[in-house]
Structure 1
Amino acid sequence: MILNVAVPNEFSALRVITLASDAACAHRLASALSGLGVLPLANVESLDALQAWLEDSPVDVIVCEIRPECGDGLMLPSVLKARHESGKLAQFPGIFWMGETTLGTPGGAIDSARTFAHEKPGKPLWIKYMGGVAVSALESHARLARAAGIFVEIVREGGTLDLGDALRATVLTRVQPDPSLRKNTFDALAEDEVIHALTTGDGLRFVFQPQFELLSRRIVGAEALVRWKHPRFGEVPPSVLMPLVNRLGLDLLLFSLVEMWTIKVMLSLKRANIQIPIAVNASAKTICTPNFAGRLAARMRQAELPNRLLKIELTEDVSEPNELYLSASLTAIRAKGFQVSMDDFGTGAATFALLANLSFDEMKIDGSFVRGVEQHSSSRNVIAGIVNWARLLNLSLVAEGIEDESTIPLLHRLGCRIGQGYALARPMEIDAFLNFVTQQNSATTSAG
């Protein structure tokens, strides 16, 4: 075991160790961390050594490399879960899987489900690997770990920004300084700072990600998103911000802010004679606010905008225990002409139950399936099943999280007509979004 001495930096409160069976691997991990000013407390060489370390010392993050010859990183969630269930581990440390990403073919084996009408029989598909493991398989394994309450991040080797974001998210949610400095803990600061940000707008930005018709690349909608830049921690990931907002009961306030800016964007587009629906995320708790539908309708009427342009996207951030009340609220929203969309469809049994029991206009296929669509027939089968289900229920469908250009024609062949993601367009600041939409509209009009 190699012990190091920690040095003060923005991540100095994090207790980080690396898991590597050889010196070369340990050096690679330490170098990646040192680029961000992080010096691991130790490197442990095996899962047994790790468990011995955890007996004596709490850990916030375990960083390990994914490699074919070493399965310790993949087994790590199972080991932590077993220790937690036996009462030997009070809090799960976060897990960062790191590795070099490469492209390859699945050993020359051809899956008949990969062959489509526009492809030559036997044509292999390229698969993205990290350390010899298909990235889609890693994502699937990570989803299971997260469902068990273990924070897992897949970090590309050399991706300093990804590693920094992962460390920053851990700082915001996990680190607890010395009890004598309780008044300076992030938990105490977070409440004040989140409230301050939402009431003053300081550090908040509202961005818009276009949605496209995949075949023509015509913009047919957008999603409104919020970003928060913390004065000390920088960009706060949505996965950190939203739980804080919901815990503080500020979800309705945040929705109102995003709704306000969305209406301003709609009015700007209206002046350019452009009307596209824009989705705003809302938790079940927000949607069940008394007279929610009436208030929305009043705001749109005041702006002289048709209700059909505002789409309410139900998230699973906060569940509503009274399903009957949620059903009534969703029905009231739709009755006033607003569209209702279900976000992240397919991520859990809850989404299937909601779709079976409640009424929607649209559902969005979770990005984890979209990212695996080229590599795995199971992802393609799931998407094909969702497409058929959407047709049976007369629902519109949006594929989200499209990150690779090559997946777009494949998704279209599977029946997905609308999509969003980095391969199409990243979320844009308001002015950039307005310019982008108006320029495309002008080009389309000229071509017509």
Structure 2
Amino acid sequence: MNIPAALSDQAGAGAPHVMALGPLTRSTDMLSGLLIQGDLHSLRVSETRGQLEAELAAEAVDVIVCEVSGDASEHLNLPVRLLRLYALNRLAKVPAVIWLSDLPAQTLDAQASELRDAGVGVEVASLVDKHSLAGALGRLATRRPARPAGAACPPARFTEDNLRQSVESGQEFRIVLQPQYDLTTGRMVGAEALARWRHGGFGEIPPSEFLPALRRLGRKCALFDFVLARVHEVLHTLLRANAALPVSINASAATLAIPGLLYRLDAGARREGIPAELLKIELTEDVDIDDIQRIASDLEWMRARGFGISMDDFGTGTSTLERLTRLPFSEFKIDRSFVQRMHTEPAARAVVITALDLGRRLGMRVVAEGIERSEHIYLLRELGCHVGQGYELCRPLEVSDFIAKVLNEASAQPLPRNGEQYRVA
């Protein structure tokens, strides 16, 4: 096979452990070159899928690379096989998959998108472009991992008492801020505040684990109050520098229905001297609205006080249009799944186009979520979308980094035109 043994001493920080699944007919030199350059931490070759399964059980593998061509497409079912092995507890994690192919990209992109939604990181790279594989590895490094659909949740790494004490004391919780950008000028125009928990014993606990537990404990209000207090601090700093931007805070319908919460939010903003226009409530889809009329009345009051009201994940859930037409939103956010599939799936593009047209007709701002590639920016601009957020624009930032970025106006760089490469922040 003429691929050198793993050169882990030359690998760069964060370089992946890669397994190549044979037969390899045209990608050997490409893989060897990345290994020698230090872009791969290690590289092994498995000749058969049976051998691959044994090796995956024995050592950690981040990415599996395989060739897919018109006369050799048996590897297209590899991601599904990995999901099955994970569901059977025969894999500790699901490795990402890169299909190296000489087929037209659109032939495989739609299938890759569906597999990503199922929880496998799948990328398509060209067998005829030596830089394409490196690009696919880079996209996998920046893409947020997803838990495989239908897979059992891992055992809890914390007790409910741990969580209750942490959120009430605020000692292990913090916020990060996901910037939002004007897609025409490249200037930052807002941000979304996101809660993060760094457990003293287990490190970072993802929101997908602690948010459901908080909901069961009935402590979402405590988290909302914590995030709101941190956002007040950020806005105070930016107001003193005359550089304040609107910041949104996530809340479920159940949280907003807590008696007095919205009035406390209003009173706290006035007490702290923070203009209502700088605070936005982002209504999530995680809880059904039982009494939509009562919540509509409360949110109308908030709008009248000057606060923004945003609907998260437009296009998902069963009550999207009912919420949009009956609640007083000032903006809604197109769910990431449509943004990431709009290049390859006509139906997804139609949803994005319809959402933008609906926003214009209703007089609402529309924000595109999940922008992870430069081509997402290009197409959204062409379709008339003015605001977006996602890893291609900027990753979520720690508070100090976010404030520094705003004050230094680093986000004012122009966005790329077609064919240009965007520098990830």
Query: Quick check: TM above 0.5?
Result: yes
Name the structure 1 match of 2:49: 25
Alignment-mate amino acid for residue 332 of structure 1:
W
Residues 370 and 401, structure 1, Cα contact 8 Å, conserved in 2: yes
Match of 1:284 among 249, 253, 264: 253
5 Å-filtered alignment, 1:31-46, equals 31-32=55-56, 34-36=58-60
Superposed CA RMSD? 4.1
What is the deviation of 1:248? 1.3
Partners of 1:162 and 1:437 in 2: CA distance:
22
Instruction: Indicate yes or no: 2:134 matched with 1:173.
Output: no
Could you say if the C-alpha distance between residues 443 and 250 of structure 1 is closer, same or farther in structure 2, counting changes exceeding 3 Å?
same
Match of 2:98 among 97, 100, 105: 100
Residues 104 and 127, structure 1, Cα contact 8 Å, conserved in 2: no
Residues 83 and 94, structure 2, Cα contact 8 Å, conserved in 1: no
What is the deviation of 1:153? 4.5
Name the structure 2 match of 1:303: 272
Could you say if the C-alpha distance between residues 128 and 139 of structure 1 is closer, same or farther in structure 2, counting changes exceeding 3 Å?
farther
Partners of 2:207 and 2:169 in 1: CA distance:
19
Partners of 1:369 and 1:230 in 2: CA distance:
33
For structure 2, list consecutive stretches of 5 or more residues without a partner in the other structure. 1-45, 124-135, 414-425
Residues 345 and 363, structure 1, Cα contact 8 Å, conserved in 2: yes
Name the structure 2 match of 1:49: none
What is the deviation of 1:139? 4.2
Moved more, 153-162 or 211-220: 153-162
Alignment-mate amino acid for residue 223 of structure 1:
E
Instruction: Indicate yes or no: 2:213 matched with 1:244.
Output: yes
Say which SS state the counterpart of residue 206 (structure 1) adopts.
Answer: strand
Instruction: Indicate yes or no: 2:340 matched with 1:335.
Output: no
Residues 215 and 412, structure 1, Cα contact 8 Å, conserved in 2: yes
Alignment-mate amino acid for residue 342 of structure 1:
M
What is the deviation of 1:328? 2.0
1:28-66, Cα deviation, whole Å (9 max, x unpaired): 45545644499xxxxxxxxxxxxxxxxxxxxxxxx9x99
Partners of 2:57 and 2:188 in 1: CA distance:
40
What is the deviation of 1:392? 1.1
Alignment-mate amino acid for residue 336 of structure 1:
R
What is the deviation of 1:386? 0.5
Residues 176 and 196, structure 2, Cα contact 8 Å, conserved in 1: yes
5 Å-filtered alignment, 1:133-282, equals 134-139=111-116, 142=118, 152-154=119-121, 173-175=153-155, 186=156, 189-282=158-251
Could you say if the C-alpha distance between residues 66 and 398 of structure 1 is closer, same or farther in structure 2, counting changes exceeding 3 Å?
farther
Moved more, 393-402 or 373-382: 373-382
Could you say if the C-alpha distance between residues 26 and 347 of structure 1 is closer, same or farther in structure 2, counting changes exceeding 3 Å?
farther
Residues 172 and 197, structure 2, Cα contact 8 Å, conserved in 1: yes
1:116-148, Cα deviation, whole Å (9 max, x unpaired): xxxxxxxxxx55957xx63223346x3xxxxxx
What is the deviation of 1:282? 0.4
* Percentage of identical aligned residues: 35
Instruction: Indicate yes or no: 2:321 matched with 1:352.
Output: yes
Partners of 2:169 and 2:107 in 1: CA distance:
43
What is the deviation of 1:214? 0.5
What is the deviation of 1:194? 1.2
When normalised by structure 1's length, the TM-score is 0.67
For structure 1, list consecutive stretches of 5 or more residues without a partner in the other structure. 1-21, 39-62, 81-88, 107-125, 143-151, 176-185
Partners of 1:71 and 1:240 in 2: CA distance:
31
Residues 362 and 398, structure 1, Cα contact 8 Å, conserved in 2: yes
5 Å-filtered alignment, 1:55-70, equals 68-69=73-74
Partners of 1:396 and 1:163 in 2: CA distance:
26
What is the deviation of 1:269? 0.2
Alignment-mate amino acid for residue 224 of structure 2:
F
Partners of 1:32 and 1:94 in 2: CA distance:
9
